[in-house]
Structures are given as C-alpha cells and as structure tokens.
Amino acid sequence: MSAVAAESAVARGASRYTSSRLIYFSSASDNTHRFMVKLGIETARMPLHTYEETLLAQEPFVLVLPTYGGENRLGAVPKQVIKFLNVAENRQLIRGVIGAGNTNFGDTYCLAGDIVAEKCKVQHLYRFELMGTSDDVDRVREGLEEFWTRLSQERTPL
C-alpha cells in the first residue's frame, strides 16, 4: 500500500487493519459467521458490501470463505473476497484456506476455497457445511493450532 493510502486509512480510524489469524467472509445468511463464533477465537469479518473498504491483514492468516450454489468456476468466489485478495499485501500473508459449502452443490462443493487455494498456492485445509457441526468446530480449532505451530517451527530454524 502506498504511504498516502495508509495515511488515509489511519485517518478513517484504522479499522481496516487486522492482526487476526483468521479472516472470513460471510453473507447476510450468517452461516459462516456462526461457525466462526463457535470457534471462540479472535477473527475478523470482511465487510458485507464491496463498496466498503476491505480489510488489510497485518499477520499471516487463514481465510475462511463460503461457496454458494454456482454452476461453474465463474463467479464462485464472492466479490468481497476478490476485493480483499486483490490487495497484494493480503495475498502475501495468506497461509491457508477453509471452505464452507453444501455437498448438495455437487462438484462445486467448496469450489471458491479450491480456486483461492490454487491461486495463492496454499492448502485448502478443511471443508464444512453450512454453519458446521460441533465436530467441525473441534477439528478446525485443533487443526489450526497445530497448523500455526508447524508453521512457526518451519520459520524458526534450530
């Protein structure tokens, strides 16, 4: 980001900056949002509308995003997520993706997660349906903890 852009963001109250390790988009249906609340860890939600300023990640993070019932690749990734990932700094800090969806959408189940994982060359770590079950919550909570531990070990040579 240019210095000017950074300054204007600061002037607006710097609410765009987030140090959360888990950043997500959830539409007005709040399914993904409910899952994130159940995780009980600090998260940051992207703005609901594309006309709002998107978030600026400050720390490595995992992205959680839903796929709705699209028929093909085009339009599978929510526009709000595209706006967020169009910020190069955000792309540099993404470390993994978690997808939400519905198996009823067949081979497009969690497709948006696949697309983002492929584009950013990170793993699509986990998939869950709708607002997730309690088992999903446990697995993601434990899985993420292990994931970040591994990542920090890799970055810190003994």
Partner 1 sequence: MTPDKLKLASHVKAINWNRIEDDKDVEVWNRLVNNFWLPEKVPLSNDVQSWATLTPDEQLLTMRVFTGLTLLDTLQGTVGAVSLIPDAITQHEEAVYTNIAFMESVHAKSYSSIFSTLCSTKEIDEAFRWSIENPNLQKKAQIIESYYYGDDPLKRKIASTLLESFLFYSGFYLPMYWSSRAKLTNTADLIRLIIRDEAVHGYYIGYKYQKGLEGLSDERKEELKAYTFELMFELYENEVQYTHDLYDSVGLAEDVKKFLHYNANKALMNLGYEAMFPAAVTDVNPAILSALSPNADENHDFFSGSGSSYVIGKAVNTEDDDWDF
* Residues near partner 1 (CB under 8 A): 27-31, 34, 68-71, 73-77, 82, 85-86, 88, 91-96, 102-107, 109-111, 114-115, 117, 119-127, 129-131, 133-135, 139-140, 142-144, 146-147, 150-151, 154
Residue identified by tokens 């699509």 is 124
Q: How far is the CB of 8 from partner 1 (least distance, A)?
A: 19
Q: How far is the CB of 68 from partner 1 (least distance, A)?
A: 6
Q: How far is the CB of 9 from partner 1 (least distance, A)?
A: 18
Distance linking the first and last C-alpha atoms of the chain: 34
State the angle between helix axes of 31-39 and 134-155 in degrees (0 to 180), rounded to the nearest 10.
Answer: 70
Q: Which is nearer to partner 1, 13 or 157 (CB)?
A: 157
Q: How far is the CB of 23 from partner 1 (least distance, A)?
A: 14
Give the separation between CA 25 and CA 63, rounded to whole angstroms: 8
